[in-house]
A and B are shown apart, each in its own frame.
Chain A
């Protein structure tokens, strides 16, 4: 049985770990509420741009644009959104596993796919497995601005327009609630859903100079906004996942401390009992 001092040391170190996880839990909680505000601030923009895009795509005339075109898929790019740091439970591993499995299933050679990563965890994962990483961003702040990721999104979309990739799939953690996030995989390019969704729109516009020019401006912007939305969504999920992970770590630390305290008290009691027995034994020997 462990000595009194050993148990005491373990209690102390667990206590310290608990303090850290508790602090991280609270930090994540406050970051989560900020991230939710950010996602909310983004909503008016995304709603509006979606509305306009749908109304143009659904205006009857056949809108032609490279981003709407289905090509034979020779190369698929996966846009993977993970985080820079771990300690967030299954946040990173869930996304990475999903991408890895999809790639293993769908592709035979490295020519057929590439990944674009956000976050150190994703980059390191794919580099280690020697998978082609096309572009990457690390060290993105907890509340990213659109300007922070604009270069990446526009370059990504340019890759599609130039025909270097024929399909873009985005994989990220979708935020459902503070305790539940879901790994989501969405086909972003070509923009195929537009025409199906747009049946019910009412407004019709004049286009200045014409529909084609507007699509040239609007569709890249729309796709960029979808990526940005996914990043904000993923950030909220990250904080939520970390919050949950840290909460359960704190709870576990408490359980361990309880167990150890019980052990400690028993050991102390045993020691006292033994001492008394020794004294009594010693006194009896004197008589």
Chain B
């Protein structure tokens, strides 16, 4: 089976570089599945899990990222990207509760927006760990 090289890089360093058969992820405009030989593409990713399928499948929680596709290579650039093993579940749960409290308290729009994003990030992390 044909494979494509996937590399995930963040400002804190590369997270993963390996070959996989398929990349399945959620872009801002909807779900995307990338197979080898895809045309060059750039798309922003939503806060979500990226699923890498192949011999040893991986799930990665990304936030604030985008995807660059070339026929034989996919690069994911994200402000944060973590494998399930690297996620601090306790911290994610604490962040979730904090964000929920903030959402309940009435606040101006910017804080609301920020809490919403924080909640999304926390939920995403928890989800990735639980569906390992």
Contacts and interface: CB of A to CB of B under 8 A. Distances in A.
Q: Mostly helix, strand, loop or mixed at chain A's interface? A: helix
Given A146-B80, A221-B79, A208 B11 contact: no
Contact of B42 (A56, A221, A224, A225): A56
Given A146-B80, A147-B80, A203-B70, A214 B43 contact: yes
B57 interface: no
Contact of B11 (A146, A206, A207, A209): A146
B40 interface: yes
Interface string B1-32: 00000010111111000000000000111001
Contact of A41 (B13, B75, B79): B13
Contact of A206 (B29, B39, B64, B80): B39
Contacts of B111: none
A205 B41 CA distance: 5
B77 interface: yes
A208 B79 contact: no
A69 B73 CA distance: 33
B97 interface: no
A150 B11 CA distance: 11
Given A41-B12, A221-B64, A207 B70 contact: no
B68 interface: yes
Interface in B20-65: 27-29, 32, 39-44, 64
A272 B87 CA distance: 74
Interface in A202-219: 203-209, 213-214, 217-218
A65 to B, nearest CB: 14
A107 B130 CA distance: 56
Interface stretch (A43-51, A129-137, A173-181): A43-51
Given A42-B12, A208-B42, A217-B44, 12 more contacts: A42-B11, A48-B75, A48-B77, A147-B80, A205-B42, A206-B39, A207-B41, A208-B41, A209-B28, A213-B44, A221-B64, A228-B11
A52 interface: yes
B66 interface: yes
B14 A41 contact: yes
B29 A150 contact: no
B68 A208 contact: no
A145 interface: yes
Contacts of A147: 80
A147 B78 CA distance: 12
Given A209-B28, A214-B66, A218-B66, A45 B11 contact: yes
A225 B11 contact: yes
A119 to B, nearest CB: 19
A180 B128 CA distance: 45
B40 A206 contact: yes
A42 B13 contact: yes
Given A208-B32, A208-B41, A217 B79 contact: no
B66 A206 contact: no
Contacts of A228: 11
B27 to A, nearest CB: 6
